[in-house]
Amino acid sequence: MFDYGILLYPGANRVYADAAAGLLRAELAVFGEALPTPPAEIGERRIGGVTYVTFRTEGALSEEDVALLSNLSSLYALFEFGGELLRPLEIRPLDTLDSDLLTIQKYPGKTNELFTKLLLNVTLLSRDRPGLTGPRRPHVVDPLCGRGTTLNQAMMYGLDATGLDVDKRDFEAYERFLKTWLRQKRIKHTADTGPLRRHKHRLGQRLEVEYGLDKQRWKAGDTRRVTFFNADTLTTDELLKAGSADVVVADAPYGVQHGSHQPDELTRSPRDLLAAAVPGWTRVLKAGGALGLSWNTHVVKRDEIAAILERAGLEVRTGGPFEGFAHRVDQAILRDLIVARKPA
C-alpha cells in the first residue's frame, strides 16, 4: 500500500470554514472514478499542527495520476508518506492561463471560484468517460453563468465554454472584463458582439470570443471559444444544438438578495426555474454527459431537485461522496450540489 497526504490551500478554510477538508475528501473520492487505483481509506490527519487529507492506493500514483489530482479544487501540495517523512510530489495542474482570470472580478452574487472549480470537476468526472479533458475537448455550458466564473474556469482548463444569463449588467460586465483581460495579457483573440436573434425575434445580446492559448497555437488555427448569450435560460435549447454540451454546470439563484442590484424575479426560489429549464438543458447535453447543479437547500430540498432531474430522464448520482458536499455559506445559505448523468 502507498500512503499520501494533501495539504489544503490555505484560502479554502476562509471559503468553507470547517468544511474544507470534508469537501476535499468527497471531491477526491469522485476523482477516483478516473484513476486506475482509486484512493481508499480517505481520511484526515493533523501533522505538525496542520490538517492533511490522507489516502492510500494499492499501486503507487503514476505521473498521470498526480497530474490529474493536481486539479483538486483546494489542493495546495501533495506528499507521499514514508514513515515520519513527507516527500513532496511535483504537481502539474492543467491551468493554461494566469489565475487572476478567476480572481480579479469581485461582485455580490459571485460563486466562489474554488467552489466553481469543485462543481466543474465533479461534473466532468461523472461523465460515462470521466476526465477533465479528453481526446475530444469537452464543451462546458453554464446556463445561469452570471459574470462567468464557470466560463473562466473552463478557459483555465483549455476547454470551450458557453454561458447564458438574463441579466444585462452581468453580460456587459463580463464583456468588458474579458476583453480587457485578454488585451492586457496580450492573448491573440477576436471578439464579436451584437444582437442575438432567433426566428426574427431579438432575444438579447451575444459575445463570441475566439482565442489562442499562445501565439503558435493561434497561428496554427488551434483556438478556443467562449460564448455568452444574454438571454433567458429557457432558450438554451433554441440557441445550442441538441447533444452539443459535454457538461452543463450551474449555480442556481439562492433565493436571497445579493446586494440590491438584482430584480426580485431573479432572487426567488429556483424550484420553478429549474423545473422549467432542466428539460431544455438536458436536450443540449450529449448522451453520456453530466449535469451538475448547486443550490441553497434552505429554499429547495435535495429530493425535489433530484425529482426534477429524473423527470428529465437523467440518472442522479447517489450515495458516498455524491451526498457529502453540503456546506454552510452564510446564515441564509446551506449550499449543496447534485450531479446526474444522461444515459448513453
Ligand X SMILES: C[S@@+](CC[C@H](N)C(=O)[O-])C[C@H]1O[C@@H](n2cnc3c(N)ncnc32)[C@H](O)[C@@H]1O
> Rule CB under 6 A: which residues touch ligand X?
109-111, 144-147, 149-150, 164-167, 170, 232-233, 251, 253-254, 266, 273
| Contact between 56 and 41 (Cβ < 8 Å) | yes
Q: How far is the CB of 277 from ligand X (least distance, A)?
A: 7
Residue with cell 483556438: 223
The three cell numbers locating residue 87: 516527500
Residue-wise DSSP of 154-199: HHHTT-EEEEE-S-HHHHHHHHHHHHHHHHHTT--EEEEEEEEEET
Smallest distance from ligand X to CB 285, Å = 17
C-alpha grid cell for residue 146?
452570471
Q: Are 291 and 123 in contact (CB under 8 A)?
A: yes
Using alpha carbons only, how large is the chain's radius of gyration in Å? 20
Nearer to ligand X, 35 or 285 (CB): 285
- The CB-nearest residue to ligand X is 146
Q: Which is nearer to ligand X, 89 or 326 (CB)?
A: 326
Whole-angstrom Cα distance, residue 242 to residue 253? 25
> Which one, 2 or 177, has the nearer CB to ligand X?
177
* Alpha-carbon 242 to chain mean position: 21
Q: Are the CB atoms for 14 and 111 separated by under 8 Å?
A: no
Given the complex with ligand X, which of 54 and 111 has the nearer CB atom? Answer: 111
Nearest approach, Cβ of residue 6 and ligand X (Å): 25
How far apart are CB 90 and ligand X at their closest, in Å? 31
Our CB check for ligand X shows the closer of 140 and 266 to be 266
Q: Which is nearer to ligand X, 28 or 248 (CB)?
A: 248
Residue 189 phi/psi, 5-degree rounding, is -160, 165
Whole-angstrom distance, CA of residue 182 vs CA of residue 90: 29
Give the number of residues written for the chain: 344
Smallest distance from ligand X to CB 112, Å: 8
Phi, then psi, of 162 in degrees rounded to 5: -130, 135
Output the smallest distance, CB 114 to ligand X, in A.
Answer: 12
DSSP assignment of 46-97 equals EETTEEEEEEEESSPPPHHHHHHHTT-TTEEEEEEEETTEEEEE-------S
Q: How far apart are CA 253 and CA 277, in angstroms?
A: 13
The residue among 55 and 157 lying less far from ligand X, judged by its C-beta, is: 157
- State the minimum distance, in angstroms, from the CB of residue 98 to ligand X: 19
Query: Considering the complex, what minimum distance in angstroms separates the CB of residue 23 from ligand X?
Result: 17
Contact between residue 103 and residue 57 where contact means Cβ atoms under 8 Å apart: no
| Minimum CB distance to ligand X smaller for 106 or for 186 | 106
